[in-house]
Chain A
Amino acid sequence: MSKERNDETVLRRHHDMGGLPAGPVGQSEHDYAPWEKRVDAILRLLADPKRGVITVDELRRGIEDLGPGAYDEMSYYERWIASVTNNLLEKGVITVDELGRRMAEIGKAWPAGVGEEKKP
């Protein structure tokens, strides 16, 4: 039996979990944090047919490619912005160096983060 399970582990990608045990589903309503709304807006602007920088299919592919560890630990919109970032790097819209320097600048300006924004 263990061989069968190993085969499935190889063939089935981490995000494709329909029918697997995954614990209870939270059903309470929640507000979106301001940064989550910004992530949503960024994706919509980039995917707008006028710009066509990325497709929602590329967004999904990028989320799947985060791998099991990051996929499980990140919140929904953290996965989105990680995928958007990787897509923009692939396409040469931003560079790794540019992004790293800007993140360091912002980290200095906002050492404690941006207030009470929280994960959903």
Chain B
Amino acid sequence: MSARFDIGETVKVRAAFPPGHVRTPFFVRGKTGRVTAVLGPYRNPEELAYGRPGEPALPLYRVIFETAELWDDYRGAAQDTTVVDIYENWLEAP
């Protein structure tokens, strides 16, 4: 499966809240970040978690966020960033 996003691209994390095992942390859902690495295809952990094969494999991306945009009450430095690995099914064009 070829990766839909490239390094440097801005991506938005889906603001989705499905039940079950979810591998995208709550605090980045609905937020916008930038791809810093394409880590390759991995079997879908949200399927593997239920004993299924997890195919097709999904591209996994390393996405960087401005930390102050993740939390309204963030009191750290303005230039702080937060990096999260996110599977392609959770990302969309902004």
Q: Which of A's residues lie within 8 Å of B, judged by CB?
A: 11-13, 16, 18-19, 54-55, 57-58, 60-61, 64, 90-91
A55 surroundings in chain B (CB, below 8 A): 48-49, 51
Question: Quick check: A61 and B25 within 8 Å, CB to CB?
Answer: no
Kindly identify which residue among A16, A57, A58 contacts B25, using a CB–CB cutoff of 8 Å. Answer: A16
CA distance in complex: A46, B22 (Å): 23
Question: Quick check: B22 and A13 within 8 Å, CB to CB?
Answer: yes
Question: Quick check: B51 and A91 within 8 Å, CB to CB?
Answer: yes
Question: Quick check: A58 and B17 within 8 Å, CB to CB?
Answer: no
Closest beta carbon of chain A to B72's beta carbon, Å: 10
Number of residue pairs across A and B with beta carbons under 8 Å?
Answer: 38
Question: Quick check: A58 and B22 within 8 Å, CB to CB?
Answer: no
B45: CB under 8 A from chain A? yes
Find residues 34-65 in chain B having any chain A CB closer than 8 Å to their own CB. Answer: 45-46, 48-51, 54
Which of A13, A55, A57 counts the most B-chain CB atoms under 10 A from its CB?
A57
Question: Quick check: B71 and A57 within 8 Å, CB to CB?
Answer: no
Question: Quick check: A57 and B48 within 8 Å, CB to CB?
Answer: yes
Question: Quick check: A58 and B71 within 8 Å, CB to CB?
Answer: no
CA distance in complex: A61, B50 (Å): 8
Question: Quick check: B49 and A57 within 8 Å, CB to CB?
Answer: yes
B20 surroundings in chain A (CB, below 8 A): 61
CA distance in complex: A91, B54 (Å): 18
Question: Quick check: A60 and B22 within 8 Å, CB to CB?
Answer: no
Question: Quick check: A57 and B21 within 8 Å, CB to CB?
Answer: yes
Q: List 30 A-B contacts (CB under 8 A).
A: A11-B17, A11-B26, A12-B17, A12-B26, A13-B22, A13-B26, A16-B22, A16-B25, A16-B26, A18-B25, A18-B27, A19-B71, A54-B51, A55-B49, A57-B21, A57-B46, A57-B48, A57-B49, A57-B54, A58-B48, A58-B49, A58-B51, A60-B21, A60-B49, A61-B20, A61-B49, A61-B50, A64-B21, A90-B51, A91-B51
